[in-house]
Amino acid sequence: MGKEKGGFLTPKAIANRIKAKGLQKLRWFCQMCQKQCRDENGFKCHISSESHQRQLLLFAENPDQYIDTFSNDFLEGYMELLRRRFGTKRVHSNIVYQEYISDRNHIHMNATQWETLTDFVKWLGREGKCNVDHTEKGWFVQYIDRDPETIRKQEALKAKEKMDLDDAERAARYIQEQIERVAKLEKNVTETEFTELKRENEEEKVAFNLGASKKEETVKPVVSENPLKAAAISSSSSSKPTSRSSSSASSVSSQRESHQEPKAGQKRKSALDEIMEFEEKKKEKLNRKDYWLHPGIVVKVITKKLGDKYYKQKAVVQDVVDLYGGVIKLLDSGDKLKVDQTHLETVIPAKGKPVLIVNGAYRGEAAVLDDIDTEAFSCTVSISKGPLQGRVLDNVPYEDICKTVH
C-alpha cells in the first residue's frame, strides 16, 4: 500500500508557509493576479498559467485604466503614511517607502507608472504634493498640509505676528515723534536772564518772607516812608505765618518725600524718558523667549555627545525644528546634524561685522557689532535695517546676539 502524501501539518507544508509569510522580492510579484512567487522558476510557471493569461487579456483591453488605478492607490497609501507617521517633518523618502511596503497587501511599484522610487519622488515635487530636496544622503520629502483647518490656524498665527509687529512699529514711530517734538521745544525755549538786585533808594530796607518753603523762597522789597514801621511789619510777618503759608509748606514737604530729588550729577528723568523705558520693558517682556535659534546664524557645538569630531566646531543653522531644535551644517566638513539648542552657543564676530539679535526686546532685528565689553560679557550694537535703523543698543548680553552668514 502506497505511502500517504503529506498534509497541512507536515514539515514541508509548515516550511512553505513560513517562507511565504515574509516579504518576497518585488520582481516576482504579479499585481494583476495578486500573487507573490518565491523564486524565478515559480514566477515563470505562474506567467505561463491559464489564470494569468486571462488577467493579461483583461489588462490588454484597457491598460491605462489599470495603471492609473494602481498608481493612485500607491500614491494615496504613501501620502497617508507620510501624513500620519511623520506629519510635516522632513524625512528620507526611502524610510517612508520601507514602512509602506512592510504591509503585505500594499500596491507594488512595478504596477504603477513610476519605475523607481526616485522617479516617484521627483513627480511629487513637480506636482507640488510635497517639498522635495536632494542631498548626498538621498532624496528627502516633506508633507504639505493642505487641510483647511490647518491653513486657517496658520493664517491666524501669521496675522497675529503681523499685528504684534505693527504695534511695535507704531510704538517706535510714536516715540520718535515725541523725541522730535521735545527737540523742537528745546530750541524755542529761551534761557532765563538773571539781573542784579538794585534799589532806587539807599535807605530802603529789604524784608524776606520766611513763612514759605525754601523752594518757594522769594525776595520782596518793602517800600515805606517810616523805617520803624517797615521793620515792625516785617517782624510781625516773620513771627506769625499765615495758615495758607504753613499749609503750602507742608504740601511742598510731602511732595518732596514722594518725589525725591536726584543725586548730584544725575539728571531727573523726563516724561518722555519714562515712556521710552516703559515701552522697552514691554517689548522685552513680549519678545523674551526660552528659544533662540534662527536660520542663517553661525553657532558653535558645545557638547561631546556628538563625538570629539564635532566638538567646538562652528556650523550654520539651516532650519529650525519645533522651536528648540535645528538642522545645522558644519562649516569645515559640510556634515549636517540635527541638534537641540542646549548643545549650541552663539558666536560673537569681530567689530563692524553683521549680527542678528536672537532674543530680547529687539528679537529678529539685523544689527552691526560696534563694541565688545569683555568684563561685563556684553556688546554694543546698532540696528542696521527696518524702521529702527540707526538705534544703538548698549549692554546687550552675549547670548542675545549671534553672528550671521551674510
DSSP letter string, 130-193: EEEEEETTEEEEEE----HHHHHHHHHHHHHHHHHHHHHHHHHHHHHHHHHHHHHHHHHPPPPP
Confidence category of residue 176, pLDDT binned at 50, 70, 90? confident
Segment among 210-214, 270-274, 303-307, 321-325 with least mean pLDDT: 210-214
Confidence of residue 87 (pLDDT cuts 50, 70, 90): confident
- pLDDT more than 90, % of the chain: 18
DSSP code per residue over 332-390: TT--EEEEEGGGEEE----TT-EEEE-SSTTTT-EEEEEEEETTTTEEEEEE-SSTTTT
Q: What is the pLDDT of residues 26-74, one digit of tens each?
A: 667 777 777 777 777 888 888 888 888 887 788 788 888 888 888 898 9
Angle between helices 271-287 and 148-188 (to 10 degrees): 160
Give mean pLDDT, residues 269-295: 83
User: What is the mean pLDDT of the segment spanning 160-177?
Assistant: 80
pLDDT at 202: 62
pLDDT digits (tens, 9 = 90+) for 356-395: 999 988 888 999 999 999 888 899 999 998 888 888 988 8
Rounded mean pLDDT, 94-101 = 88
- 403's enclosing H/E stretch is strand 401-403
Mean pLDDT of the chain: 77
How many C-alpha atoms does 182 have within 13 Å on its Cβ side?
A: 10
Q: Is the pTM of this model over 0.95?
A: no
